[in-house]
Chain A
Amino acid sequence: MQFWEVKGILEAEVLWEPVDLQLEIEIAQAADLMSDVLSQSMGGELLLTGLVNSQVIRTAEMVDIKAIAFVHGKRPDEKTIELARIKGIPLLTTRLFLFEACARLAMRGLTGSSGTIW
């Protein structure tokens, strides 16, 4: 599904839009633990998280996360958004809580990556 569809489904606000306006999102991961992202991501995911510090962007950069959606109305500070801009990682923020954000995306066909890890 396209980044813009994700935005619509999550009723999200775009904090930083993708350079590639056709950006395709195929898989997603939800985590508040960056340690989990570092050990469980397969790369290319949309990351849903309630954490908004700059290490979220750094972590996303290392594992090749495609886009980040902050849940629960969370919003990173300007410096963190700037880092995402530099790294080319688009950002969304939604008022939905984590479970509902995931559930909505899953109902529309987005899948996780557990199956590819085990």
Chain B
Amino acid sequence: MQGKALEWAYEIEGKDFRNAGKVSSKVKEILKELGFDPAFVRGVAIASYEAEMNVVCHAEKGTLHFAILPEALKIVVEDQGPGIPDIALAMQEGYSTAPAEIREMGFGAGMGLPNMKKNTDELNIASTVGKGTVVEMVIRPPLPRE
């Protein structure tokens, strides 16, 4: 990584549960191939998947932008959807508006946003009700050991 940015963008379809996770799988593959530390890759994959699932579960469609910057990874997930009226409330563990069919699939426990926070160094959310949401995550790789 000589100061050159590597960037990718992937579309996410709302309510497409069969394909949900494909994008984060791709992100994980790229990082693995580039030889990043497995524990780090795992954390990124979890954060990415939670964000991807939120688009699938709560929005109509979205795009995941993924960039490897000189000092960090950046994932920006923007969607067209209902937006989040109260972001502080949505961030609380256990808060969820997920309907029954999503809970039956094992999601909608209201742990996604807190888990994204846990697995990232920075998490910023901007949302406009009726338009959509932008979730930005920055994750810094562990320093290489001497």
Contact = CB atoms under 8 A, between A and B. Distances in A.
A77 to B, nearest CB: 10
A14 to B, nearest CB: 23
Interface string B39-55: 10010011011100000
Contacts of A61: 21, 25, 28, 45
Interface of A: 31-39, 43, 51, 53-56, 58-59, 61-64, 79, 87
B106 A33 contact: yes
A62 B49 contact: yes
Nearest to A57: B21
B24 interface: yes
Given A33-B107, A35-B109, 9 more contacts: A34-B105, A34-B107, A35-B112, A53-B105, A54-B21, A55-B107, A59-B21, A62-B42, A62-B45
A53 B49 contact: no
Contact of B111 (A32, A39, A58): A39
A-B complex: 3 closest residue pairs judged by Cβ atoms: A58-B21, A35-B109, A34-B106
Interface in B1-48: 17-18, 20-21, 24-25, 28, 38-39, 42, 45-46, 48
A61 B26 CA distance: 11
B62 interface: no
Given A34-B105, A43-B42, A51-B105, A58 B112 contact: no
Contacts of B114: 39
A58 B106 contact: no
A62 B28 contact: yes
Contacts of A79: 18
Contacts of A87: 25
A37 B105 CA distance: 13
Interface in B63-97: none
Given A43-B39, A62-B24, A62-B28, A32 B106 contact: yes
B25 A33 contact: no
Contacts of B112: 35, 38
Given A33-B109, A34-B105, A64 B38 contact: yes
